[in-house]
Structure 1
């Protein structure tokens, strides 16, 4: 027996094999394994192996089934007898793989094929064999521990089939023995089939499930259970099986159903009835109890302590608890003060402890009767009025209380101040008496609407005692009597005359601004018309000279400059008009164009314009796909201007231009088409780029700061919601050409 160097924390592995070469291969694999620690023992003779197993504990045994001194399967059985708790992995050849399969039935944890054995397969097999063996041993211990449990416990495979069931679960499900329940699917016993799928899904997602579930017994009867199901995992976090534990709550469910039946009777009772759990917290009350306690609904009281209804009388609480514990009932009379109305009431109460059929305490039921003499309603209103009068009178808003006949019953000081009438002059008068005749119909419509919708708001012209009109906002809510009938309303009135005046002034200012804008547009049109009248003859005369024969070349050069400047002036007017149009429209008025078609037309126009130059334009465009972008009749002109610049300033015999187009997704729901146009001309120095970018400042109004065509293009692209950049074809080397990048918002597809 050869023992490798010992290190703390390693798994001890015994390798039984007659082939020294095979032993060395296995040794090297295990000792070089990353993240694993092994201590290797080896044996070439089987008797020696049994001695080692008798004297030492090994974490796993690797057994070659091809030993000459003993049959491989016999060797496996002997090792199991000597070390029943040690996992055994057998190694065989491809020709004898059937022997490896047979070994699994004789207790081997795993079989490995010698010809296919590699580092990963060997380490994985050893690790899993050790884990499985530990689990088997653990399950044996747990089985003994939980076999006598009164809780029902089952272990299931990952499909839900029973692999273990304790006596309690076998009996609970109506089976005579464990053989009858093994391999049956526990989830198929769930009456609600959709719930079984939800349980499995939640188990896989969160690792556990807790809830009530109805199971079908072997005899066809159903039982109600409180179940806890959880995944059993190994140290690596991989799921191994499912453990389900439950208790039978059928009797409790039946009792709850009986309570639900009683609840129907209780809810319709004229007496105030409340049911509490054994801790004294309310679990059910009827409408009569909610009304008695001044609650808006029964749900408002659920979960509150029953003792809370008597306020701070701790002596009474102590009396209740003592009587229920000793006599299981209490009856008597007590008083309490309702918080919502601040009044005292007297109640007669009967409180009883309820037990189930097996005499176990189930809940507490209490019945209450209002025995308070009727209080004088008017007296209570007077007391309330004294308490809240100061708040009412000092409120910032004017307040009216109006009866069902639209007459004013109550008014505060702010209302007196707003309208200039005394309280006596307003009380008893119809609300219409204080409204301007132009708002009378509107007020009537408002009051009619209130009776249907119960609350609302309207702006009304009121008239002061001195005849001055005040524009006010009236917000009102309807009041109902004890039978739910309309009894009037309470109205809050705010003087918004100043706000109305400011609104009118703002409207007037807007109108003046519109008029100013119209005058500005008119002056612009006059100026554009006059400039056009000046430029057009100049352009015509220059072209006539250029077309004439026998004209000196110097004269023609001057005329060409004049014609070019005249065209720029004409283009400037056109650009300014286009800017004005863009300034006046919203983005939803932009439309879609085919960008590839616009690009083609722009290229064609520039090639015609510069007939004396040769163009070499390369394209990288989406094939067999139309490209749509937002436009306002400017995109083609912008592209044409960029190409025009490339041709105009190119000093080479051939104008080389690269055009690339690709799609970009800037943010969810918002896409852009990125168009790159690169020339190989003299380039634009960085200082000039900065100047162009500053001229096209997007924070300025569109028609300001436009002196050249490129800033015009950049500003227009921004107005369309896109971006335009000017950069070097080769970063840092502007003299090798300029790249124009247009990021244009994606447009809707259209038929072209």
Structure 2
């Protein structure tokens, strides 16, 4: 089965370095890759020096290598490749190898290996290997980018002075930075486990409004009371924003600032106005030195005081802002919520970490986090604004990167996990890893606890080695035996493994990344295939049938030894050749149609003729089946071939015998060389009353002869059989019921193509009735002789009195030819006239012989059989003139009549149709039969020259009458014989003809049953 290729998206051809010393094998590799529509640039090398040079100068993307080479082997080639640190696939292409060698090659670093008699795997092997390395490269690049991004995110996150947390909307905390841990005196894990509501004072009345605000608007900023790990409480300013990550999940970011000191300061400001006033100058200095913009606005929103940070945050100097409304600088989309927050503050509510956007002087946007409160006495709002634009962008980037990392990890097409520490505690595991391992709830558990069955396995030592060395590890088809179901039953699985240590911020190994590709099915399938291939090779090479495989172009891709023995070729001579190279022209046309059926998905079986290397015809029995790839495309065909040449010859002989025997009313017997019966026809069963089963294996003489059988005749027959001679006798036999009957027996020996005797065939005619009427026949003959006395006398005169002088004349002429030259001309003319006269006498004898009285017993005559016999007799004439004979005897397939007359009529009509054809048109002859109550009409129609019936109708059947011009040979007696024979049978002849359009003869023959005889008809 051919596997579907995995496409590699690229515009340039694959650079392939092929290590091979056999050009034919290299050509086959190139052919297979081209056939698979793989664009490639191939460099062929065969020595170590060429190989090393090509690795440096050619820069291949994949290496294909034979195992055995003149100066080194594939294992050495692998070692050379690895020393170059080139990360390219290495595919081994070799003959049949042991399983141990295959394992050694794969352990040595080969990505795949292909047997040379299974080259159809090569395209998949190349594309799969390239894809694997491409995926690996992309993973490494992705990991690098992720690490860089996470490092940036981690640096910002961990170095922020404010406490930062990433939470879920239900209150679960996903992450907390060091500032938050210090603020709450907790570790990050403790913060995550406590949850959002474990960090706040739930009795603080400001908490619920903040939550409702965040739920309503997606953002909230305010002050609430927080509590530390030891239960101590502190006031804090919190900014909370709701966002949706790249996966559509709702997340919440929280920024918390400890405002204990600020609260104390505010309380002091509220209670010590005078002291505050005195410190305004100092405060202004503090304000101007702060990176946060500190401002005061009146109840109308106009700036009363602004710190110097306004120029850094908004791009405006403080003087440019004083007296102007703060709302004039708010980004229009945020104006509504800003006004609402102002009303909220002026209602006596403190505002913490409220975020909105402002339009800077240069037109750019800046995101500001506000803390504000309202002084009811002074009717002034005091606020602190911090530029959090970078923080917001960082938060988005961190969330997006974490989302990408999580997606990559959870949806990767390979099994992945992350372990921490020397105990290899599972921190993460993707679904494929859990599915393959059959384990659940492994997060937080050490490797040995999750996989106790692997204790003592080399894998544990390998983990320690990777962890201690800090070096990555890669291997293919590592076998594990895992108790997946926890019932003590271990399941073997194979994986291609890559393990990579990861380090902490100090550069120390902190844990391991694990990547695994499950190749269990491939390994098991490959081993089964390898075992099957061994068995298949043994079966194929020892098979007594020829095995022939062709590709979709009908070219030979495989033949076994029996196939080569049968055709006389070597495998190398046959492979690559089209199947048509072993056929004659007729066979090629038939085979082309049969191969089209294979391409249409049809199997086939039958007999077919091939031509061997020596030119010998070989008849075979073929069972052929189409071959299809996994995508359903036609890839070729497989045929099982058996030599039936001898069987075919015997079948042809037997068919001829069977055809003749089945059509005759006579008995037919076939025996072995000892004269024991092997087959009889129905005529035998009818005459002897014995069935084939009853007589099988018996000698006819022992079974059928009786007391009145002539002993001398019987002995003569036995002697001929012993001497392998044919014979013909008349003998008296006995039927099963004891009835006596006379037979006319003709026996002939049967030989095969090597002229070896294989048996005898006997044709037996029942002549019992003829024997009984012999006296009557003699009397009838005497009567006929008297009635035809004049004709016989004439015949005698012609035969003796006339022919004798003619013969003497011709003899004298031949003697006189040696005389003088002056007589030669006269002698030549005399000889020609004598020869013509002799031909006339012969014709008269023919007519006289045909007109003799006769009394013959009728036989059942099958028209189709007679036409086939005439085809054989006229085979050369039919072929030379490209004549076509069409028959239709469906209306009357047979007739009871005199066989010789009917045959003569049909023969003369068909031969005349060919003889008097048009010179430029191949003869088309239609022979049909019809019947009415009294007659069966035999019609013969041709497309020849035709006859002018108006001119020649009254002399059509006369002797020596010819109606065609030209050099067509003939004597003009054929139609006379046809008419004479038809009338002697009691019938008649009718003719339809027209010049240049052809002629149709209708011969009407009376119907008779099988007991009727035609007697005393004088022809």
TM-score of the superposed pair, with normalisation by structure 1 = 0.29
- TM-score under structure 2 length normalisation: 0.22
